Amino acid sequence: MNQKRFFDMKTVLSFLASIILLYGALPVFLLEANPANSVYVIGSSSIHGKNMQAGRKAAIANAFLTAVSRVLMEQVPKELIERNFQAINEEILSQADKYILDFNILNESRHGGEYRLMAQVSVFLKKLNDSLAKAGLERDKQKKSRFLLCVAEKGIDDFGYTYWWDGSGDTQDSIAMQSLFQQLTGAGYDVVQPEADIGSPSYPVQLSSSEAVAMATKVGADIVVTGLATAKETSNTMDGAIRSFRGDLNLWFLRSDTGEQIGMSRKVAISADSDAYAGTRKALANAANLGAKDMISQIRTLGIGFSAGEDKIQVVIEGIGGNIANYVKFRNALGNMSGVKSIQLTEMGSDTTTILADYRGNTKALADALLLQSFDTFGINIIEIGISNIRLQLTPK
């Protein structure tokens, strides 16, 4: 063992020992490697006196808190976090280190009385999801969209794509499908297990929208995801031993009730490894992780994926002050719209009123329908579309 390697190992062991002293014995799950759930964060802390080590430990703790907070905001609608923030703060954010799966400090620096470091931190999604339920987050009270994943995969040594809808129903070897499944279920969605008998040997690698929707309908899925995942080796190497691999992922997602394509995502990820099999799987997993996060973000922006337990949508109307007649016209129009079963006034203020609408559809569909309404004396400005709420403003003409 050369001196440089020996020094690096001593540094690592010393650092791990300091973390154990700070946080107690490392939990078992911290030893599991799962880079697919990693985020890059900067942790910082003030240095008191000359205690550099204490400042460094505090910066690491700050990085953990930042990572858990970021993943939390990515995985859970902000309305639900706001509603349950006290419980989340007490049960999760106050002990963020419990949800750290793995971490790697990339660089660190001291400037004046501040210590800062950049780290790659992996958050344990399942443990976080379990704690969210215990903290009282009302995810289980919401109806969850069910996903069907139809992503074909081609590894570095494969002659062609492998996929389950050829009648095999086997997804065991698909790293892209496994990564997408983990991300979606970690975000609180349901993913339907593919069944061999809904596929057909006549189905092609790239499914048409009608073929994909037909399978989704058979298993009761609301959204069907089709796509291609491909891995290949690049020309980059390190000392002839470490090789570079590239994972390409193309996703298209459709609604099963209408067949409408509601979004798409194209992601590329690079990995490095001396082993082709391991490097390929890392590249595909990282690309699938990026694609899943992009897809979830798009679906939530559209207001699809979760709907309130009884299809109740909160409509907050601003700009009423001095224009009660406009509000009355809007309320009557809302009550007579197609798909609106009933409306209920829940709060009345000087300039803002809140109505609860029993609507057959999601918030995006209701917002689109409202924009089609025409009024002589005012217009509608949609300010925000949430998972179960719409905020708008009546603007006089």
**Tokens linked to 260:** 């409408």
Query: pLDDT tens digits for 36-69?
Result: 467 888 988 888 777 778 888 888 989 899 988 8
Q: pLDDT tier at 226 (50, 70, 90 boundaries)?
A: very high
Distance CA 306, CA 77 (A): 9
Q: CA nearest 286: which of 229, 228, 225?
A: 229
Percent of the chain scoring above 90 in pLDDT: 12
CB-CB contact of 260 with 210 (8 Å): no
Percent of the chain scoring above 70 in pLDDT: 79
User: Is residue 83 packed enough to be buried (19+ CB in 10 Å), middle (13-18) or exposed (0-12)?
Assistant: middle
| CATH numbers and ranges of domains, the chain | 3-133 (3.30.1660.40), 142-306 (3.40.50.10610), 309-396 (3.30.70)
Please give the average per-residue pLDDT across 67-89, as a whole number: 77
* 3 state DSSP class of 298: helix
Of 7 and 190, the one with more pLDDT:
190
Write out the DSSP string of 335-388: HTSTTEEEEEEEEE-SSEEEEEEEESS-HHHHHHHHHT---SSEEEEEEEE-SS
Q: pLDDT tier at 224 (50, 70, 90 boundaries)?
A: very high
Distance CA 66, CA 42 (A): 8
CB-CB contact of 153 with 177 (8 Å): yes
Count CA atoms closer than 13 A to 140's CA, side-chain side: 9
Predicted pLDDT of residue 81: 75
Is the pLDDT reported for residue 138 higher than 50? no
Query: pLDDT tens digits for 303-359?
Result: 665 543 345 788 999 988 878 888 889 998 998 888 788 888 877 778 888 888 888
Decide: pTM greater than 0.95.
no
Is the pLDDT reported for residue 35 higher than 50? no
Please give the average per-residue pLDDT across 126-144, as a whole number: 63
